[in-house]
Amino acid sequence: MDSFAGRTVRDDRDGYALIMARQDNHPRIGESAPDFELDLYDGTGRIRLSSFRGDRPVVLIFGSLT
């Protein structure tokens, strides 16, 4: 679990400190991405990232709409 998830940033200084603390919070080159599971868009089930391992490349794109 990401220890930074849900943290509220109070001001610019706090935001910058959070960015600096998180800068190394990622898989390294050659490491596997952390496994996770998501609901299918049509609600018919769930899918796990690891189900694609060794089968085909997967691109993950994360963003915010806020």
Q: What is the pLDDT of residues 26-65, one digit of tens each?
A: 778 888 888 899 899 899 999 999 998 888 888 877 777 7
- Is residue 4 very low, low, confident or very high in pLDDT (cuts 50, 70, 90)? low
- The residues, ordered by sequence, that sit 6+ positions from 50 with a Cβ below 8 Å of its Cβ are 35
Q: pTM for the full model?
A: 0.50
Q: How many angstroms from the chain centroid is the CA of residue 21?
A: 16
